[in-house]
Amino acid sequence: MSNISKSNLIIKNRKFTAEALWSMGRINGYDLFGDTLLYTVSYYDIPKNGSSSHIIIKALNSKEYIDLTSKMRDSNDQLTKSCAQSQTNAIFDKNGRGVLFNSNGNLFKYCFESEQVEQLSTGSLDIREFKISPDNSKCLFISSIDHSYKNEDYNDLPLASGMIFEDLNYRHWDEFNTSLPHPFVSKLNNMKFEDHPFDILENEPYESPLKPFGGIEQLCWSKDSRKIAYTCKKKVGKEYATSTDSDIYIYDTETKTTINLCKDFEPKNYGFDSNPMYSPNGKKIAWISMERDGYESDRSRLIIFDLNTKKKSFVSEWFESNVESFDWINDCQMVFTGVWHGTTHIYFIEITNDNELFNHEQITTGQYDYKSVKWFGNKLIVKRQSMIEADELYELDLKTKEIKQVSFENDFIYTQIDKASVQPKWMKTVDNKDMLVWIIYPPHFDSTKKYPTLLYCQGGPQCAVSQFWSYRWNFLLMASEGYIVIAPNRRGLPGFGMEWLEEISLNYGGLCMKDLLTSVDIMKKESYVDSDKLGCVGASFGGYSVYWLAGHHQKRFKVFIAHDGIFNTEEQYIETEEMWFSQWDMGSAVWEGKEKSKKSYENSPHRFVEKWDTPILCIHSEKDYRVVVSQGIAAFNGARMQGVAAELLYFPDENHWVLKPQNGMLWQRTFFRWLRRWLE
């Protein structure tokens, strides 16, 4: 949406609000040329109910910056002005003399000298993301091809809206699969598209990158600009819907041949493989690999494949958690991010010439989540967040471990508010294990006072309660409204070893629920926790937790809020779109009657509705195909049929998340109004 710029919000009474949350800049991708930083940031506008992506350019050692998008809006050149309305995936060109970006489905370049834009691609290509080859001779880009159902019997019904499907995988996340993302290549002449692009998956009914969240990070160029490594799951229908087995392929643009690194060489990889990246000398390729097919929350490991010897080496086996973002420093050194004990930090590894692990070291500390790492030849630029600060960019010195902030998008918010405080608390579980619980305290916390307190139930169900920043489940906002927040790393969350992680599968109502109650029972003993004003909130599996606890809490809580939660596990097994998830976490369909699935269905929250006795707010969205809307409707109906006070907040146009500004504001206002009604 055009004409949305950085907010100039004035905050009253130094209180962080939902309006302040939606006024923050959200940093996306970034690039570096010399000492000049480029990044894109999204600004939101509540009255306009939209957002706009801006390109920001600044020196690393200065707070001064140029908003290139705003500058383009003021241009007298019509093409330059029109491109300012929509800009994504901005990077410096090879010589640092301009910025490449895509806008309205095409590729453009902004020239610093002329201060004008030129179009590099031709026609309507619907370019989503792109990567230029190292020698600037080719452009790899993602575009969608038609994949809708075709039947000539219905050609005379052009206005019919019905869709016909013959197999599974007909919809994913929030859309029906009527198109497929494919990687295309075009030759370049002086950076302009020279010929008609060709599809490297031509006539193949597969996705690359993978829906729903895969992007250009799932593809990369070889150093000689000849080959493309890409991520693909070459399965369709039921086979696709029940498997996580994606592979890394290498396509040769000259011979038009393809090899499969995961299946053509031993040991074969059968889990989820993604995000290939060539080493600086081009002799190795690294990617993230899971071991087991069907297990979407399996440990993500860092694998290196030697293109000469064909040897595969898993170099993160020592790290009993997930490798997330990674990058090469040189041919024998790498960095990656990974969660451990409730924080996501950066790790440095050295490998031998034979790709064996030589050394590893954690190089960042503190209560933070580092979300991405990028090496730019002599500088490491990273993205960092916490429960009380949104994403900003930093420069990390690998030798001294010193870190320096280089973006300051949201300082204008932080200087106007009083922040909450966050402390870790280790608790003993019912089986004498150690559990990390984050406690978030309101600004100006006074231990002599009593505070209403919320139990936060994490979703996933295998997503860490780390130092994450959320634009819905925002702990700073909850604390600023006067609540203490209890955020347990219950059974089933990563960062505490595989045994802790896998305790939850096939047993949603087991120790993970006891962990949640344990955290509340321990905190209730603190003098500053008002045990008569306890609430319980959560989304997705956190919503399942809320629905389950509503039937088992034994008068602990005064109010519940569930967002997009699983209410009936029997229905969830056959309603969700990623069938591999249900198959792994629940074990089998209810009609199969298998013993291993018994707990999954016996602990379905809908079986305990007759015990519900506490007010509950149910939130659900029509376009949520992960946990479909009937789950929330059934929970609300069940509560009202029991005579329990309840509200249903229904969004006809949102998915598993709430993304539109005014819907987000409605969500926050309803959330806190419901809490105030029952806790004050």
First to last CA, the chain: 40
Find the catalytic residue in 54, 172, 182, 656. 656
| Range 201-211 average pLDDT | 98
Q: Each residue of 296-331: pLDDT tens digit?
A: 999 999 999 999 999 999 999 999 999 999 999 999
Q: Is residue 380 part of a domain?
A: no
pLDDT at 3 over 90: no
Look over the chain and give the mean of its residue pLDDT values, rounded to a whole number: 97
| Range 113-119 average pLDDT | 96
The predicted model scores a pTM of 0.97
Strand pairing class (50-59; 65-67):
antiparallel
Under the banding of pLDDT at 50, 70 and 90, the label for residue 619 is: very high
Give me the CATH number covering residue 489.
3.40.50.1820
Q: Each residue of 316-369: pLDDT tens digit?
A: 999 999 999 999 999 999 999 999 999 999 999 999 988 899 999 999 999 999
Which residue range is the domain that position 608 belongs to? 418-679
Would you state the pLDDT for residue 659?
98
| Range 44-64 average pLDDT | 97
Q: Each residue of 212-245: pLDDT tens digit?
A: 999 999 999 999 999 999 999 999 999 999 999 9
Give how many domains the chain has, as a whole number: 1
Q: Alpha-carbon Rg of the chain, whole angstroms?
A: 25
| Range 129-156 average pLDDT | 94
The verdict on whether 624 is a catalytic residue reads yes
Under the banding of pLDDT at 50, 70 and 90, the label for residue 497 is: very high
| Range 579-593 average pLDDT | 94
- The rounded distance, in Å, linking the Cα atoms of 378 and 115 is 29
Q: Is residue 305 part of a domain?
A: no
Would you state the pLDDT for residue 655?
98
Give 152: exposed, middle or buried? Use CB within 10 Å, 0-12, 13-18, 19+: exposed
Q: Each residue of 526-570: pLDDT tens digit?
A: 999 999 999 999 999 999 999 999 999 999 999 999 999 999 999
Would you state the pLDDT for residue 152?
86
The verdict on whether 540 is a catalytic residue reads yes
pLDDT at 1 over 70: no
Q: Each residue of 628-677: pLDDT tens digit?
A: 999 999 999 999 999 999 999 999 999 999 999 999 999 999 999 999 99
Q: Is residue 182 part of a domain?
A: no
Would you state the pLDDT for residue 315?
97
Do 260 and 249 meet the contact criterion of CB atoms below 8 Å apart? yes
Percent of the chain at pLDDT exceeding 70: 100
Find the catalytic residue in 45, 245, 585, 624. 624
Q: Is residue 402 part of a domain?
A: no
Q: Is residue 598 part of a domain?
A: yes
Under the banding of pLDDT at 50, 70 and 90, the label for residue 2 is: low
Polymer length of the chain: 680
Find the catalytic residue in 7, 540, 582, 604. 540
User: Which of 203, 215, 244, 185 is closest to 29 using CA atoms?
Assistant: 215
Taken in order 497, 498, 503, 508, is the CA torsion positive or negative? positive
pLDDT at 123 over 80: no
Would you state the pLDDT for residue 195?
77
Q: Is residue 588 part of a domain?
A: yes
| Range 114-135 average pLDDT | 93
Give 118: exposed, middle or buried? Use CB within 10 Å, 0-12, 13-18, 19+: middle
Would you state the pLDDT for residue 86?
83
Under the banding of pLDDT at 50, 70 and 90, the label for residue 122 is: confident
Q: Which range is least confidently modeled, 54-63, 120-129, 155-164, 432-441?
A: 120-129
Q: Is residue 512 part of a domain?
A: yes
Q: Each residue of 254-305: pLDDT tens digit?
A: 999 999 999 999 999 999 999 999 999 999 999 999 999 999 999 999 999 9
Q: Is residue 671 part of a domain?
A: yes
Q: Each residue of 383-392: pLDDT tens digit?
A: 999 999 999 9
